[in-house]
Structure 1
Amino acid sequence: MIKTIVGIILIAAASIGATALYFLQASVPAVNAETTLPAKPVPLPGPIFVPLEPFTVTLRDNDSSRILYVAITLRVADEDSRKLLGVYMPEVRNRVLLELSTQSPTAVQTPEGRTQLTKSLAKVLEVPYLPQPKGPRISNVLFTAFVVQ
């Protein structure tokens, strides 16, 4: 009789323990190699802008000449490009002036002409500045002022 009571108590204790363990594991999410906690978003680096002093150039056409006043800000891909442009700023300004002076006054007044001008300026400015082996990486050329008079 005592053996029967002890057996019943052991079976009941094992059952209660197994049930408690089951509910405990069910309420706590399991973490394993397949399940990962959501990672904190990595903040993206902010844009790097390099403003240039405004430019004033004379644009010549077959029968007229006009004045172009333009302020430009360059968006660069990395800090190395910003530093490189700062070190070579006289050359940067010279390249921009030379490129601007080749433009037609009628072409730069159209949206397509301005888009083409941004592309040509980026291309001219990305050429390496000697003795550097590579030029800056320019993401965009932005006009912050643009007047043809």
Structure 2
Amino acid sequence: MAAKEDLNLGKGNGAGDADKASGGGKGKLIAIIAVVVVLLGGGGAAAFLLLGNNDDAATEVAGAEPAAPKVEEREAAYMPLEKFLVNFDHKGGMRYIQTDIQLMAYEPAALENAQRNMPAVRNRLIMLLSDQDFDALRTVEGKETLRQDVLKAVNEVLKLSGQDAVQDVYFTSFVLQ
């Protein structure tokens, strides 16, 4: 008789059957919703990737003026200068500025020109840095003014050789003491 009871585990008072039916139905519903969400997301991603952002086609369909041709972006080239360590007088005491400067140009010829004229460039920058006001350099505005002065000084030296000039300079370190 124990064997018959073991075989009839699925049959009984019916309470277990109701739990299985309601739990199984909820599980299937959740699984179906999850599959639908994943398929919609995948379809949307596929449509975005395949159709892309076709601005030219959109303007032709709309009858609007075609977009202006895109300007080719130029790649900037950089050249680090050797570290500058310059002393200058401040209210009767000696102060120091230590800075790393990088030159930026869109034309490699400009950086080659700077390399050929490096002694003159460094001399001009040392003289410029030596003539600074300590209190002014402690402000962002003072540093920006110095950066513009450095750019102007470098380009003045480079233009003496009749070659290309650099477009910008950057302080990659700046220490006042």
**Is the deviation greater in 112-121 or in 70-79?**
70-79
Aligned match of 1:147: 175
Deviation at 1:63, TM superposition (A): 2.7
Q: Under a length normalisation based on structure 2, what TM-score does the superposition of the two structures give?
A: 0.56
Structure 1 unaligned runs (5+)? 1-40
In 2, Cα distance between the equivalents of 1:107 and 1:82?
30
Deviation at 1:128, TM superposition (A): 4.2
2:95 to 66, 83, 94: 66
Which letter maps to 2:106? A
2:78 counterpart of 1:49: yes
**Is the deviation greater in 57-66 or in 68-77?**
57-66
Pairing 1:74-85 to 2, within 5 Å after superposition: 74-85=103-114
Do 1:50 and 1:82's aligned partners in 2 also have CA atoms closer than 8 Å?
Answer: yes
Q: CA, structure 1 residues 101+128, in 2 after alignment: closer, same or farther (shift >3 Å)?
A: closer
The structure 1 segments of at least 4 consecutive aligned residues displaced by more than 6 Å after TM superposition are none
2:128 to 77, 81, 99: 99
Q: Under a length normalisation based on structure 1, what TM-score does the superposition of the two structures give?
A: 0.66
Number of aligned positions between the proteins: 115
Deviation at 1:106, TM superposition (A): 1.2
In 2, Cα distance between the equivalents of 1:131 and 1:119?
19
Report sequence identity in percent. Answer: 28
Do 1:55 and 1:69's aligned partners in 2 also have CA atoms closer than 8 Å?
Answer: yes
User: Which structure has the bigger radius of gyration?
Assistant: 2
Aligned match of 1:133: 162
**Post-superposition CA distance 1:40-66 (Å, at most 9, x none):** x78633211111010000021233221
Aligned match of 2:153: 124
Do 1:76 and 1:82's aligned partners in 2 also have CA atoms closer than 8 Å?
Answer: yes
**Post-superposition CA distance 1:106-146 (Å, at most 9, x none):** 11111010000011111111114586234x42222111111
1:115 to 144, 155, 171: 144
Pairing 1:29-48 to 2, within 5 Å after superposition: 44-48=73-77
Higher relative contact order (CA 8 A, sep 6+): 1
In 1, Cα distance between the equivalents of 2:148 and 2:141?
11
Which letter maps to 1:62? K
Considering fraction of residues, name the structure with more helix. 2
Structure 2 unaligned runs (5+)? 1-69
Q: CA, structure 1 residues 130+139, in 2 after alignment: closer, same or farther (shift >3 Å)?
A: closer
